[in-house]
Every structure is written in structure tokens, then in C-alpha cells.
Structure 1
């Protein structure tokens, strides 16, 4: 039994591997041979019966491309053979045509073809009413004649529903794959921004302290010791933030510390101040509770702005200002340095800034800030300060 099932499955797989045209040719040949052999068994085989059987089966070769019209052609041949008593068994070709239009035709054509088929079956039964009808009369004969067609139509409808369901599942799988690719791209961009912000700020602080270290060792050993402590603390904090950022790539990571937020700004400002830049932190308005992702965005904007100031501006002082303004948090970082080499730029949630200039550090700094603010639904602007001196970065982050 198991061997028979296995062979049947192999035959089914081979049949599915055949091209549709070959399958249709086999079906047409089988239908024509069935009618011809049955007529021969009944003793009514003539040349014109064989011709009608062939003419009623050959159109099945085009049943997939023109199911509606092929149903009509095959139906005309079937009705002709039935009215001339050329066969008395099931009309195989017409059943295949019924299955085909049920599976492939649109709703309106299915309705028309079904109505015409019902009328043809009724006409065939009524014209043959002089023969023995059996105990059920005309009604019983109609049921018997229509039953095979109803079964063929139901099978075609089932095939159409299965095909539509497969298409729907494939479309859903395609959309899911696109969403997963988009999510992976966004996550890679987020990790790239985090790593850039962490490394750019921390390494800038380390580089500045290390460059000034030899001078401090000769002239002020106590100051040099403090600078080396700052280098060590900055490096440890950078490693901790990198570990936390890359932790999302580990499936077995049990827990991760939250990203730095607004409460970490005083520590950030103090670290930059130790690097030699006179930074002040101001806050206006009544502070509100903000989501962690928005707080992290605000922190990174301030961090990147101060990093650019330390690396590129040649500034002596900078001011960080937070202003709680109704439903928005307004950030501003303004230094007294040399300002940008390029023009002023501004961007909204979907915009693009102008030239990044000296403060850009190759363009990645302001680009990262722009992406962060846009992802939060806010606006970012940057350029020369109000009096034309220094560089100013301003961000508006919606709180609701």
C-alpha cells in the first residue's frame, strides 16, 4: 500500500512538472478517445461521430487562454452529439470546459456561461423527453444530467479559491519580507548613528586630553593626573555605550541599560568642560516627562553638536539651552567659534539640510542629527549664529 501511494505521488509530481500545453493536449486526446470508444462500444460509431468527437475535444487545447469561448464551442458540439444520439454517457469535454470556466473566468462570464450551460442541459433533457424518463420524470432526469456539471463547476470554483488564496499568501509574504528588510535597514542606520555619536564624541574628548597631556605632565602634574583620569573615564563610558548599542545584535542578551537621556546632559557638559571648552547648560520652562527614545534623541543632538564644536570650531565657549515650550522641547547649542565653511541649512521631518561645513566632520555628524530628529517628527536647523558669529544648531522635538 505504501509503495502504491509513493508511486502515485511521484506520478502527480511529474504531471505537475509538465507544461500546461502538454497537459491540455493529453486532456483533449483523452476526451476525444473516450467519446469515440464509447460510441464504438454502443455500436453507433461512424465517421461523422468520430469527427464530432474530435471537433468537440480539440478546442480544449486553448481552454486556458479563452475559457469562455471554448466553453461555447465545446458546448455546441456536445449538444449536437446529444441530440443526434451519438453518445449516451458523460460528455467528458464539456465537463472539462465547465471546470475551466469556473476556475478561470471572471464573475460576469461565469454567470453567463453557467446560465447557457443550464439552458443547454434543459433543452437536451426536454428534447429527449419521449424516451424512458424513469420514476423521477423530467425533474429526475434534469437532476441526473446536471449533477456532473455541478460537480465540475464546484471543483473549478475550489481551484480558483485555492489559487486566489495562494496568491494572497504570496503577496502577504512579499510584503512581510519588504517590511522586514525595511526594519533591518532602519535598525542598521540606528546602530550606525549610535556608534558614530558615541565614538566621535568619546574619541574627540580622548584626543584633546591626550594632546594636552604631555604639556600638563611637565608643568602641572596634578592637572595631568586629572586629565588621564578623564581619558580613562571617557573610554570606559564609550565602551559601555558601545556594548549597550551592539547588544541588540545578541539574541541572548538578558537586559540592556537604557540609552542616555536628558538627565545625562550635566555629565556630558561637565566632560566637555574638562576637555577645555567653557560650556554652560541652561533650562527654561517646566520640565516634562518625555519618552526614552525622544530623550535619547535630545541627548545625541547635544552630544554631536558639542563634539563638532570641540573638533572643528576652534571655539572657547558654548551654550546649551533647553526650553520647554508647550508641546515641544526646543534645543539650542551655540558656540563662539569660526562658524561653518558652508551655507546655512535647515531641515524638517522629511527635508535635507544645506552644506554641513566645518562642523560636519565629513558630513556624517549633521546627517545623523537630521535623521534622528526627522525620525522623532521634529525639525532641525543649523548655521551661523544670530550675530553671524559661531555656529548654532537648533532642534524642535514634539512631546506629544
Structure 2
């Protein structure tokens, strides 16, 4: 509004030809009155436009003051309507402005040149208003899209963090549950063996120490991954199918007899899938040691064209006996199902063959395409 006031003041302060209309204070005050409604142009654009036209008409008819090169206030009022008003309001505005232009030209020069120039100038104001409206709509759409992407990225990061926490919880559960179960079995067998078989007792205590050291090493590896402030250090790979014999040996020491068999086309699998196989067998054996009271355990891997089936069967207390498969608050079998689902597979638990013992059967997707990836 101040810029418009400055522009309309120029004809009143520059030197004028004596034959032209004089620059009087009443004319200047009425010129200022034309600009005042622009203060409310965004809150009430249509009334402002009619106020500007009415004040301009009063100036033209009542006073013979200095003319303006352009109708600044009217152009800004038209621009504002084109910017923020609906199509219907813009149409009515253009009809009113056209009538006002024709009337103004009729009172002034009555020439086609002035008429065309006035229509062109006001048309340009309308076009600029629509271009600015399009630009603002585009900017708002870009900002909204950026906000949606930010929200989506934040949600994805939170979901990734939740998945990582669940994975770490499963790993720590498997490591600690298995190690503690083996150590408890060996510790319970040690005092009995001391009296009758010192060599066996020594082997039991060595197994306890070895199990504890291995558990500590795996925990250090996992906790080291969480220390993001430290410089990344080389980490030992996750245990795979190749480490299963060592796992079974630890269970055999002072525990049940464990057999291990592989069938089908034995082949190398992705590291993540092999780690899942190792953890599934580890958790199943942990349950056997803790709850089954079994004397024989059979671990079997069946390699199919697109699937790998892991079966762990024992001859201990089955689901119908006194055996408690998952104590209150336990997550072992849940973890097995989650690991299977992560590889597009399924997990089943229930009675063993002929209804005796207990069996854990996990089917994992291990297609050639996955192996080659």
C-alpha cells in the first residue's frame, strides 16, 4: 500500500505544465483515499475492489486533479481477486472491471487505443494473479509431499528400529538361554560324577567353562554392534550350519544323545538363512535340555529344491505329559516362528512320531534364486 501511495504521489510533486490541472490538497487526499482500502484487500477483496472503483470515479468526476499513468490501486485489487477468489467471483469481477473500463474510456478520450491498452493492462493483472496462485498451489503441494515423505521416513525408521530390537532380543535370548541351560545340566551332573567318575566330572566342568566363554564371546559381538559411537571393528560372522556339530557336542556332554543327519542335495545357503537354521536348532535343543527329560534327540536337515526343512525330535515328555514347553514369559517358540516367517517359511510344534516325545519342524524357503543372490 505504501508503494502504491508513493507512486500516486509522484504526479503531485514533480513540476507541472501551467496549462495542466493544478495539484491541490483535496485532490491528493482523495487520491490517498483510493489507496486506503488496499489494507483490507486479502480479507475482503471484492468490497475493496468496489471501494477503489467508487473512489476513483469520484476523483474523476468531482475533481480535476493530476492524472495517474496507471490505475495502481485498481490493478492491485484485480490482481488480489484473481489470486485468492473462486472462479465465479473472478468472472463477476472481470465483467464489472470491463464495464468500468468502458465507462472510464468514454469519459476520457473515447479512443479504441485507450480501450485496448486498459483491457491489456487489467488482463495482465489477472494473468499474474492466476500465475501466482498456481505457483503457491505448487509450492504447497511440494511442501505437503515433503512432509508426507518425512513422516513416512520417520515411521519406517521407527519400524526398522523395532525390528532390530526384536532381532537383538531373539539373538540374546537364544544365546543366553542355550548357554545357561547347558551350564545348569553340566553343573547338576558334576557333583554326581565327582564321586564315581572323576574324569567325567572334569569334562563336565570344562564344558561349563567352554559354554560360558562362547556365550560371552557372542554377547561381546552383539553388544559391540550396538556401540555406534565406537569405530567399527570387524565382527565374527553369525553361526551357521557348519557350526552345528560343535553345538551338538556341547549338548551331548552330560546331556542326551544327539544324532545329526542331512539329506537331499546339500548345498551352501545364504548366511542369514544358515544363521536362522543354527538358532532354530539351538533353541529347540535348549528346550529339550530344560524341559524334556529326553535321552535321545534327533536333528535332521532335509534339503529340497526350494525349501529346507529343519526337524528336531526327542523322546522326552510330550505335550500331554508333565512337560512344560514354554514357561510363563518364555519367548523361545515364538522366536522360532518369527525366524521362520522372516524367511517366508512356517514352524510347527507338537507330538513326535507315534505321539511320543516332542517335535519341532521348521520349513524355510531356500530356492536357487535366493542362494545365488
TM-score by length of structure 2 reads 0.78
Unaligned runs of 5+ residues in structure 2 are: 13-23, 62-70, 368-373
Q: Which residue does 2:338 correspond to in 1?
A: 371
Query: 2:104 is matched with which residue?
Result: 128
Q: What's 1:390 paired with?
A: 357
Q: Secondary structure at the match of 1:393?
A: strand
Residue aligning to 2:250:
271
Contact 1:360 1:366 in 2 (8 A): yes
Instruction: Give yes or no for the alignment of 1:303 onto 2:320.
Output: no
For structure 1, list consecutive stretches of 5 or more residues without a partner in the other structure: 1-26, 64-69, 102-108, 343-356
Structure 1 residue 138 corresponds to structure 2 residue 115: yes
Q: Aligned to 2:297, what secondary structure does the other structure show?
A: strand
C-alpha contact (below 8 Å) 2:78/2:122 kept by paired residues? no
What is aligned with 1:380?
347
- Go from structure 1 to structure 2 and tell me whether the alpha carbon gap of 1:371 and 1:324 turns closer, same or farther (over 3 Å shift): same
Q: 1:76 to 1:385 in 2, by over 3 A?
A: farther
Instruction: Tell me if structure 1 keeps the 8 A contact 2:30–2:55.
Output: no
> Which SS does the other structure have where 1:329 is aligned?
strand
**1:260 and 1:83, CA in 2 relative to 1: closer, same or farther beyond 3 A?**
same
Could you tell me how far apart the structure 1 residues matched to 2:194 and 2:234 are?
A: 41
1:244-275 deviation line (CA, Å, top 9, x unaligned) = 22222122232211111111111111111113
* Aligned position for 2:326: 360
Measured in 1, the distance between the counterparts of 2:110 and 2:101 equals 9
1:99 to 83, 90, 103: 83
Alignment partner of 1:42 is 2:11: no
The structure with the largest alpha-carbon Rg is 2
Give the SS at the match of 2:168.
Answer: helix
Q: What is the aligned length? A: 338
Cα drift, residue 296 of structure 1: 1.0
Give the whole-Å Cα distance in 2 for the aligned partners of 1:388 and 1:172. Answer: 54
- Root-mean-square deviation over aligned CA pairs: 3.6
Is residue 293 of structure 2 the alignment partner of residue 314 of structure 1? yes
Instruction: Identify if the C-alpha distance between structure 1 residues 93 and 41 changes in structure 2 by more than 3 Å, giving closer, same or farther.
Output: farther
What is the alpha-carbon distance in structure 2 between the residues aligned to residue 100 and residue 86 of structure 1? 29
Q: Could you tell me whether the CA contact under 8 Å between 1:74 and 1:93 is conserved in 2?
A: yes
Structure 2 match to 1:188: 165
Residue 293 of structure 1, CA deviation: 1.1
Q: Is the 8 A contact 1:83 1:124 kept in 2?
A: no
Contact 2:78–2:125, Cα closer than 8 Å, also in 1:
no
Deviation at 1:123, TM superposition (A): 3.8
Which residue, out of 319, 325, 338, partners 2:304?
325
For residues 129-208 of structure 1, the aligned pairs below 5 Å read: 129-130=105-106, 131-132=108-109, 137-208=114-185
Match in the other structure for 1:212: 189
* Kept in 2: contact 1:78–1:94 (CA 8 A): no
Q: Which residue of 1 aligns with 2:316?
A: 337
2:105 aligned counterpart, secondary structure:
coil
Distance 1:119 1:399 in 2: 74
Kept in 2: contact 1:191–1:246 (CA 8 A): no
What CA distance in whole angstroms lies between the structure 1 residues aligned with 2:122 and 2:327? 84
Q: C-alpha separation between the residues in 1 aligned to 2:363 and 2:60?
A: 86
* 8 A Cα contact 2:105 2:111, kept in partner: no
Matches within 5 A, 1:253-264: 253-264=232-243
SS at the partner of 2:312? strand
Q: Which has the higher contact order (CA 8 A, sep 6+)?
A: 2
> Which of 224, 231, 246 pairs up with 2:223?
246
CA gap of 1:140–1:244, structure 2 versus 1, over 3 A, is same
